[in-house]
Structure 1
C-alpha cells in the first residue's frame, strides 16, 4: 500500500526582527521577486473591476496621506484559496454594505504572500481564472506591493480584519484588530473585535460568507453580488470540504454553500454536482506541483513569525513552518546533489489510505545565538514534541542516525498537522530561558 506523506518542517533561528526579509522566509529560501506582467488582458466583470479599482485607490490614498481611512482584510501568509477568498469576500462586503451610509468603509484584501509566490499554488490560479480576474494577479494586492513596511503602515491604518488566522503577525501588531474570522483554535486575541467568529468548519470562507449573507439580507436594499465572487466562494468551500463530502465538512459548510449557490449562475444545478466538479478540478490543479523544486515547495506554504522568549540573552526567536506534500526521501531527490545534507543546506500534504506525516526540527546557530543556546533551544522543543499532550506518537525517521546536531525528523500516523504541531512548538519557545 502506498503511503502518503505530510511533512511539516519547523525551523528556528534567534535574532533581531530586522534580520529577516519582509515575507518572513529565511533568506536562503527566497528567490528574487519577479515583476508583474503589464501586457495582460484585463479581467472582465464587476468583481475584477472592483478589485483593480480598489487596489489603485488604496495606493493613491496612501500617497496622499490617507492610509488612516483604510481597513486591510488579510488572510494568513500561506495564501491558500480559502484565505485569499475569505479576504476578498469580506473586503467586498465591507465596502458595498456601507456605501450608502454616513460612514462608508474603505476596505482592501491583502494576500500576505509575495506576488512571485502566488503561482506556486496552481489551484488559486485556476479559481481566479474561472472568476475572470486579470491574469498575473494584477487585480490583487500582495505583500511585496505594499507601499511601505507593515510595521510602519499598521500604525496608520483604520484597522485590520483577520481571516483564516486567529492572531496577527508581529509586523501588524500596532494595528487595531477590527474583526476576526477563523476556523482554528481561539487564542484570545482581540476580545473586543466585532464580529469575532471562531468555529470549527471545513473552510473559513464558510464563516465569512455566512456573516456576509446574514448582513446582506438585513439591508434595506441589497448591493450587487457579482457571480464571479459567488463562484469563487463555492470553489474555496469545495476544495476544503472535499466537495462537501469530506471528513471535515460541517452542516454550516453545506448550508452556506446552498445559500451561495442560489444566488449564483449555477442556481439551477445540483449542489452536490457543482461542489464535486469544483473539488475535482481544483484538487487536480493543487497536485500539479511535481515540477517545483525544494525551495519553491517551501515558499508555496511558508508561515513564520517572531516569538518572544523569557531569555534575556535571546529575547526573540524566528519560528517558521512549511507544509510539503512529499516525503523527506522524495524531497531529498529534488536537491542539487540528491543527498540528505543538501536538504538541510538549503534550509529548508495528503491522501487517504495510510497517511504518514513527517516533522522536521532544526535550530541554527549564528552571530546572534551561540551553539550552547541553540543546543538548549533545540532540546526544549524536541522534548515538548516528544512528550506532547496531544497523543501524537512521534517515531524517529528511518535515517535519523544520519542527521547532524540540532536536526531531527520524526514520523507519526495521527491526523495532527501544522495547526496542532505549531502551538506545541510556540509554547515551548515562549517558555525557553
Structure 2
C-alpha cells in the first residue's frame, strides 16, 4: 500500500498539483491506511449517491427509470472514465428539465479485479474517490442477472465498445461512443459516434462539452472528473505524442484543461506528467500471479456459429505483458504443465470454450529494444463441445491464424511439449487484440 501512496504523490507532482499542498483549492487525495475512507468532493459524493439511488430503485421495481452507461469488460482507464463521464453528464444536463435522466456507470468487471489495473487505482485515488471502490457499481454488484435486467432498463449507452455483450443484447441501445470499428449495433442510437482517436474518453468529453456549452446555465463540473478525463486521454495518447494523438484528442484536452484546476499550466507538461505516472503504475504488475494476469485484461463473449449441434461458442481473449516463459516462472512449480493447469482452472470457471492469450514483451537485440508478441491458443472440450468438435474447431482457428497474410507466425520454442488443442506462436508484427480477435471470431462463426 505504501507504493500506491508513493505513486499517488508522483502523479500529483508530475502534474501541477503537489501532494500536501493546495492549488486553486485543489484538495489532496485521501490517504488509505488499511481502512475504508470516504472520498472527498462532489464527484465522489455524486457517484456514491447515484449507486445508492439505483439500488433503492431496483428494490422498488423502478429499473425502467435508469440508463446504464457501460464500457467494455476489459475495464481499462479509458473505458471506466468514459462511462463515468457520460453518466455524470446525462444526469446533470437533464436535472432541470421535464424529463430528468437517471444514469449510472456500470464497470463490467468484478470489484476484486479493479485493482489488477494499478493505473485505475491510482487515477481514482487522485480523483478523491472512496477507497475500496465503494463509489462504483461493478458487474458483481448488480442485484439481477443482466439478461433479465436488460429488459427492464430505460436503456444502455455503450462507450469504448462497439456492440453489447450477449447478456445485454436485449437492452435498448440509446447511444454509442467508440473509437474502434463500427459493427452496426444500435443504428437508431443518438448520439452514435465512431471516430478514430487515441482515447474514447475524447469522444465522450467532446460531446459533453459541446452540449454543456449550449445549456442556458451550465451545471457544476467537478475538477476531479476533469482531471480523470485528462489522465485517460494522456495514457492512451502517450501524453499527446504526435504519433499517437489525433486532432480530436488534442483539442478536447485543451478544452478540458481550461476548466480544470490545472488551467494555468502548460497542456503538454500536464499530459506528459500524467502519462509518465500512470504508465509507471500500469507496469507495476510483478506482484500478480498468473490467474490475475489472465483475468486482468480479459474480453470475451458468446459467438454464433453455423454448426447446428453447437450454435454458440464461448470465446475469450486475455492480454498479458509478459512472455510465456516469464508467466511460467510465476506459477507454483515453474513448469509448463502448471501454466496450463492454472489456465484450465480459470477458463473452466469462466465457462470459456476457446481461449486466446495475447502476450507482448520487449527484448534487447544489438543494444536495441525489440517488441515480441505471442499467441497462445487453447480449445477445451468440456463446456459446450465434445472432443471431436473441439479438434475440428481448433484446426479451423489454427488454419485461420497461420494463413492470414497480415501476420507471420513462428512456432514457440517449446511447441513440441504442448498437448493436443494447444498451440503457441511468436510474431513481431503490431497485430494485437484488435487484429487477432476478428480473425478468430470470423473462423468460429464459419465453423460447421
TM-score by length of 2: 0.86
- Relative contact order (C-alpha < 8 Å, sep 6+): which is higher? 1
- CA displacement at 1:246 relative to structure 2: 5.9
- CA displacement at 1:367 relative to structure 2: 6.0
Aligned residues: 396
SS in 2 for 1:347: helix
- CA displacement at 1:248 relative to structure 2: 2.2
Is 1:362 the equivalent of 2:378? yes
Distance in 2 separating the partners of 1:87 and 1:38: 28
User: After superposition, what is the alpha-carbon deviation per residue over 1:284-338, rounded to whole angstroms, capped at 9, x for unaligned?
Assistant: 1111110100001111111111111111111111101100000011001111211
1:120 to 116, 120, 123: 116
User: Which residue matches 1:85?
Assistant: 81
Counting only pairs closer than 5 Å after superposition, residues 421-432 of structure 1 correspond to structure 2 as 421-432=436-447
Unaligned runs of 5+ in 1: 1-36
User: Which residue matches 2:173?
Assistant: 177
- CA displacement at 1:227 relative to structure 2: 0.3
Q: 1:246 to 1:401 in 2, by over 3 A?
A: farther
User: Which residue matches 1:71?
Assistant: 67
Counting only pairs closer than 5 Å after superposition, residues 185-224 of structure 1 correspond to structure 2 as 185-224=181-220
2:413 to 398, 411, 418: 398
User: After superposition, what is the alpha-carbon deviation per residue over 1:255-293, rounded to whole angstroms, capped at 9, x for unaligned?
Assistant: 110000000000000001000110111111111110100
- Return structure 1 stretches of 4+ with deviation > 6 angstroms: none
Is 1:371 the equivalent of 2:387? yes
Q: 1:152 to 1:299 in 2, by over 3 A?
A: same
- CA displacement at 1:39 relative to structure 2: 5.2
User: Which residue matches 1:42?
Assistant: 38
- CA displacement at 1:191 relative to structure 2: 1.2
- CA displacement at 1:129 relative to structure 2: 0.7
Distance in 1 separating the partners of 2:404 and 2:96: 52
User: Which residue matches 1:15?
Assistant: none
Distance in 2 separating the partners of 1:317 and 1:62: 32
User: Which residue matches 1:381?
Assistant: 397
Q: Provide the alpha-carbon RMSD of the alignment.
A: 1.4
Unaligned runs of 5+ in 2: 1-32, 345-359, 363-367
1:142 to 118, 138, 146: 138
Counting only pairs closer than 5 Å after superposition, residues 21-420 of structure 1 correspond to structure 2 as 40-245=36-241, 247-347=243-343, 349=360, 353-366=369-382, 368-389=384-405, 391-420=406-435
